[in-house]
Amino acid sequence: MHDILLKYIPEHAVKPVSELIVTHGVHLKIVNERATRHGDYRNFNGKHEITVNGSLNKYRFLITLIHEIAHLVAGVKYGRGIKPHGQEWKFTFQQLMLPYIRPEIFPNQLLGLLARHFKNPTASSDTDATLSLALKQFDVQKEDHHYIFQLPYGTFFRVKGRIFVKGAQRTKRFECKETATGKMYLFNPNAEVEILAGKV
């Protein structure tokens, strides 16, 4: 387990994460990228299975893995009837994550953002736009992929096979029109999209 984790999370996190996995009887599966989620936890008749996308950068992988372990631990401690991302899970996630928020594990530019986020963790770090963007700087960037906030007004882009044109910013999110239907949608500034070359 140690050697496998070393490929996916920061080196100084490997030993304590390995111990968490063993202690809680986690069956960890590293899977191909899923667009809708970074990871998930399932309890099959008392067997604890956690899947995490192998394409995540090492910092997001670590946060995702601890997020899913928190589901397991909170369920065991408080019962399976708790809300998936309710107070019991938030408290458990905070407690499990706290030992990792240090400079040996995360770069300095992430530490303050993580400390702020974990005062009240959300169901996904993606909903914290500032933290999400900071984490994305460690991703392997695809040449034709950019974030919504980087695009000039009127840029055409594709998401999941659908084509949109970027519009105005509304408070935090950007209003974008789907070209096929004319419907307006709101996009988070950190949404990753494929720019369509030649479209103006």
pLDDT, one tens digit per residue, over 87-121 is 999 999 999 999 999 999 999 999 999 999 999 99
Distance (Å) of CA 176 to CA 2, 9, 66, 68, 185? 45, 35, 34, 33, 5
- The predicted model gives 15-37 an average pLDDT of 89
Helices H / strands E in the chain, number of each: 6, 9
Instruction: Please say if the pLDDT value at position 127 is more than 80.
Output: no
Identify the pLDDT of residue 35: 63
The overall average pLDDT reported for the chain is 90
Domain with CATH 3.30.2010 in the chain: 2-136
Contacts of 105 (CB under 8 A, 6+ apart): 10, 12, 13, 62
Distance (Å, whole) CA 165 – CA 175: 9
- The predicted model gives 165-173 an average pLDDT of 89
Distance (Å, whole) CA 158 – CA 167: 14
Show the tokens assigned to 27. Answer: 């069956």
Identify the pLDDT of residue 200: 43
- The predicted model gives 72-87 an average pLDDT of 92
* Sheet of 173-178, strand order: 145-147, 192-195, 156-159, 162-170, 173-178, 184-187
For 183, half-sphere exposure in the C-beta direction (CA atoms, 13 angstrom radius) is: 7
Contact 88, 113 (CB under 8 A): no
Identify the pLDDT of residue 1: 78
Distance (Å, whole) CA 182 – CA 123: 31
Q: How many residues does the chain have?
A: 200
- Residue 9 region by backbone torsions, left for phi larger than 0, else alpha for psi between -120 and 50, else beta: beta
Identify the pLDDT of residue 89: 96
Lowest mean pLDDT among 43-47, 81-85, 176-180, 196-200: 196-200
- The predicted model gives 10-36 an average pLDDT of 91
pLDDT tens digit string along 136-168?
888 876 666 688 888 899 999 998 889 999 999
DSSP E strand boundaries for 38-121? 39-44, 47-53
Contact 121, 71 (CB under 8 A): no
What pLDDT band is residue 130 in, cutting at 50, 70 and 90?
confident
- The predicted model gives 42-49 an average pLDDT of 90
What pLDDT band is residue 198 in, cutting at 50, 70 and 90?
low
Report the topology of domain 145-195: SH3 type barrels. (2.30.30)
Domain with CATH 2.30.30.30 in the chain: 145-195
Its CATH class, for the domain covering 2-136, is: alpha beta
Instruction: Please say if the pLDDT value at position 85 is more than 60.
Output: yes
Instruction: Please say if the pLDDT value at position 197 is more than 80.
Output: no
DSSP 152: P
